[in-house]
Amino acid sequence: MPLDTKAPREDIRFRQVGSRPVRPDGVDKVTGRAKFGADLKLPGMLIGRVLRSPHPHARIRAVDTTRAEALAGVKAVVTAADFPDIGSDETLAAEGDENLRDVVRNVMARKKALYEGHAVAAVAATSAAIARQALSLIAVDYEPLPHVTDVEAAMRPDAPVLHEDMFTSGVEPKPDKPSNIARRLEITLGDVATGFAEADVVVERDFRTEAVHQGYIEPQACLASFAEDGQAELWCCTQGHYFVRNACARLLGIDISRLRVAASEIGGGFGGKTTVFIEPVALALSRKAGRPVRLVMSRDEVFRATGPTASTSMRVKIGVTRDGRITAGEAELKYQGGAFPGSPVEMGAMSAFACYDLANVKAVGYDVVANRPKAAAYRAPGAPMSAFAVESVIDELAAAIGMDPLELRLRNAAREGTQSAYGPKFGPNGLVETLEAAKAHDHYNAPLGPNQGRGVASGFWFNFGGETSVSLAVSQDGTVVLSIGTPDIGGTRAAQCQIAAEALGIDYDKVRAIVADTSSLGYNDMTGGSRVAFAVGLATIEAARDAIEDLCGRASKIWGISPDAVVWEEGAARPAGPNAGAFEPLSLADLAKVAANTGGPIAGHAEINAEGAGISFGTHIADVEVDRETGRVTVSRYTVIQDAGRAIHPGYVEGQYQGGAVQGIGWALNEEYIYGPDGRLQNPGFLDYRVPVASDVPMIDTVIIEVPNPGHPYGVRGVGETPIVPPLAAVANAVKNATGLRMTHLPMSPPRVLQAFEAAEASRAEG
């Protein structure tokens, strides 16, 4: 009776999937009841604070905490000595794989402070004021060292070296001197030299992008409570409480099952909350103090000491024939990922040319370290930067051969069966559909005014599946509670209720979803990688089918017929056909009422490693207006067209498209980490780290394309990350169209735009 989960059901007439119900956690969020990371307190709670390095690079000769420990009201002080010295090869499965040695050194500096803001010690005290005072009593003996923050500067042979044991991997012969280049990697397909020889026009350009931050409005916050018997509880805002549990258990030297982590509501993550910063520290303080500890980061600390993206220096070269065939694509990508290796350059290299069917590709990547905070994931990590470069060059080539930029993309678009630049053939996908929809859209054909310009760009993300555990319990009145283990960032509880309701054939409001803690369900990979609607949805369907099998079995016993003669349709068990018998259907509520008599509690569960995630392509259209006096670029119209496979809740899919696009617009126009010559971050606040506000952007129009993913019974594809990939180039291409200026350094802030105008004027005067 249970259907094969993998086979997509073309015949489904969806009742719940595709509708727009109000989310189950919504009322709590609009009334202020919802509890986020800093909203919980416990009796006897202490306030934790972290002491951070004022130097971008320094040897730590000694840390003297005696005076701090002696201060009245201080109950615990921790330093690196309170954490294990983990060896170099230990990794922990996370979204990617976190190197635990780097994590523990990032959480608390050992022999060196590697960036301004690097944690050096922490205290827990009875009040915030006492905690602040205690920090000032900790004496750290620093030996400041020369520092480097720029990616190109960090790669030079004479650059100050961060790690004496870092020898570039991926180069032959193996270097004998340490450097800041952790790794060189190369991806090739065909032969680019041959490809360029075939081209009629070749464009080669250098690009730079500055580091940006995910900008979640809720700073990291947690509440840790360590009991005397070694059992601990942690409340924190995170994208992955199971990862937090495993990482903290390792860092505190306790069994995983002794730590129970509950995920609070999370005020944004976007990848920045897929690792640990303050959680192990709070637990260590709580253990030492014997009391609960609340540790919350200030906004200043979030900018200085969490995980921004990489800043980059890139060169891209693409060749095309006069009739619009791209013959070769080459990229050299240098990504600086902060003080430890792990910038997303590999994914940047793999995704760079993914939208195109190319025979000849070469992408070389360098993972570089510098004296900046350790980079964390940010929505399609690595892809927006390389796409900015590639999509800008594609635009230039289109202009060079006099072809419409969408047409050039269409002629070379990756389709089902295209060999991707990074290896496998693509399955069915909607890139062509998004390009055609863009061409036909009103936006693309609307007239432009003076100083206005239009740009387009396409983008791609891999999307992932992963380990997922879900439990579905049927209450005695036939209503259902669904327990999932992935924090809800964007409204997934609504989507999961819709999926469960669809699978069971009942109404949406009969299903309630909760995000369970780590002790209540099997392991779950994080919320991230655009995986929740896909993987958790898959597990929910399996759990529902598990329950349905049980329910049909009970009905068959009640009726005295074979289980094969029972089907589940529209929320009830029914005889499979007239030969099975003339029995009245038994609804979920009917069967739930007699659960105790027919075998006990009714529930379904699923523990899977979801595979078969579908890639998602998108194409964006951006209109800008450029003020030649101030250099200000205003986005006047914006359209996102993206393949969702199947939109479970169209309202929340639109929300992902709009939110990702506006983050991309911020990245393109205003956001950047600004470092002074002293290696210190100059703009660690929302005033000068300028994210888009409501008056900066227009309505963001969206078009949801649906090319079902064959790996999911409802056709779902992840959608959360792709929307941030096209905007950087879409906006840059629009600026070119409006002004004739090819901007190659992001962000295109007013000073940079004015500089570009002046430079163009100067060369016009000379020319």
Binding positions for other proteins, 377-396, rule CB under 8 A:
377-381
Calpha distance 563→558 (Å, rounded): 11
Q: Whose CA is closest to 295, among 280, 273, 275?
A: 280
**Helix spans in 108-181 (H):** 128-136, 151-155
Q: What is the DSSP letter of 726?
A: S
Is there a contact between 683 and 689 (Cβ–Cβ < 8 Å)? yes
Q: Does the protein bind other proteins through residue 663 (CB under 8 A)?
A: yes
Q: Does the protein bind other proteins through residue 76 (CB under 8 A)?
A: no
Of 459-498, which residues contact other proteins (CB under 8 A)?
A: 461-467, 489-491
Rounded to 5°, angle at Cα 165 from 164 and 169 = 125
Binding other proteins (rule: CB under 8 A), the pick from 16, 17, 25, 616 is: 25
Q: Does the protein bind other proteins through residue 14 (CB under 8 A)?
A: no
Of 78-97, which residues contact other proteins (CB under 8 A)?
A: 91, 93-97
Q: Which is nearer to other proteins, 185 or 589 (CB)?
A: 185
Q: Does the protein bind other proteins through residue 347 (CB under 8 A)?
A: yes
The binding track of 680-699 with respect to other proteins, each residue x by CB under 8 A or -, is -----xxx---xxxxxxx-x
Residue 485 CB contacts under 8 Å (≥ 6 apart), including other chains: 241, 242, 468, 469, 470, 515, 516, 518, 520, 521, 522, 523, 524
C-beta of 706: minimal distance to other proteins in Å?
A: 19
Candidate segments 106-114, 246-254, 269-277, 616-624, binder of other proteins by CB under 8 A:
269-277
Is there a contact between 733 and 455 (Cβ–Cβ < 8 Å)? yes
Give me the residues paired with residue 311 across strands.
336
Binding other proteins (rule: CB under 8 A), the pick from 2, 3, 41, 581 is: 41
- If phi > 0 it is left, if psi is from -120 to 50 it is alpha, else beta; for residue 679 that is left
Binding other proteins (rule: CB under 8 A), the pick from 711, 713, 726, 747 is: 711
Q: Which is nearer to other proteins, 388 or 464 (CB)?
A: 464
Within 10 A of 86 (CB to CB), how many other CB atoms are there? 16
Q: Which is nearer to other proteins, 395 or 623 (CB)?
A: 623
Q: Which is nearer to other proteins, 490 or 713 (CB)?
A: 490
Q: Which is nearer to other proteins, 180 or 530 (CB)?
A: 530
C-beta of 281: minimal distance to other proteins in Å?
A: 19
Q: Which is nearer to other proteins, 428 or 563 (CB)?
A: 428
C-beta of 184: minimal distance to other proteins in Å?
A: 7
Of 410-439, which residues contact other proteins (CB under 8 A)?
A: 422-427
Q: Which is nearer to other proteins, 347 or 729 (CB)?
A: 347
Q: Does the protein bind other proteins through residue 214 (CB under 8 A)?
A: yes
C-beta of 692: minimal distance to other proteins in Å?
A: 8
| Cis peptide, bond prior to residue 341, ω within 30 of zero | no
Q: Which is nearer to other proteins, 392 or 663 (CB)?
A: 663
Q: Does the protein bind other proteins through residue 609 (CB under 8 A)?
A: yes
Q: Which pair of structure tokens corresponds to residue 191?
A: 């032969």
Q: Does the protein bind other proteins through residue 268 (CB under 8 A)?
A: yes
Q: Does the protein bind other proteins through residue 652 (CB under 8 A)?
A: yes
C-beta of 452: minimal distance to other proteins in Å?
A: 18
C-beta of 303: minimal distance to other proteins in Å?
A: 10
Candidate segments 53-61, 259-267, 317-325, 571-579, binder of other proteins by CB under 8 A:
259-267
Within 10 A of 70 (CB to CB), how many other CB atoms are there? 10
Q: Whose CA is closest to 209, among 741, 745, 676, 668?
A: 745
Q: Does the protein bind other proteins through residue 271 (CB under 8 A)?
A: yes
Residue 187 CB contacts under 8 Å (≥ 6 apart), including other chains: 349, 350, 361, 362, 363, 364, 365, 421, 422
**Helix spans in 306-357 (H):** 345-351
C-beta of 143: minimal distance to other proteins in Å?
A: 32
Q: Which pair of structure tokens corresponds to residue 416?
A: 């089902």
Q: Does the protein bind other proteins through residue 651 (CB under 8 A)?
A: yes
**Helix spans in 627-715 (H):** 650-669
User: Hey, is 540 helix, strand or coil?
Assistant: helix
Q: Which pair of structure tokens corresponds to residue 707?
A: 């090319």
Binding other proteins (rule: CB under 8 A), the pick from 217, 227, 446, 596 is: 217
Calpha distance 91→87 (Å, rounded): 10
Candidate segments 38-46, 192-200, 223-231, 326-334, binder of other proteins by CB under 8 A:
38-46
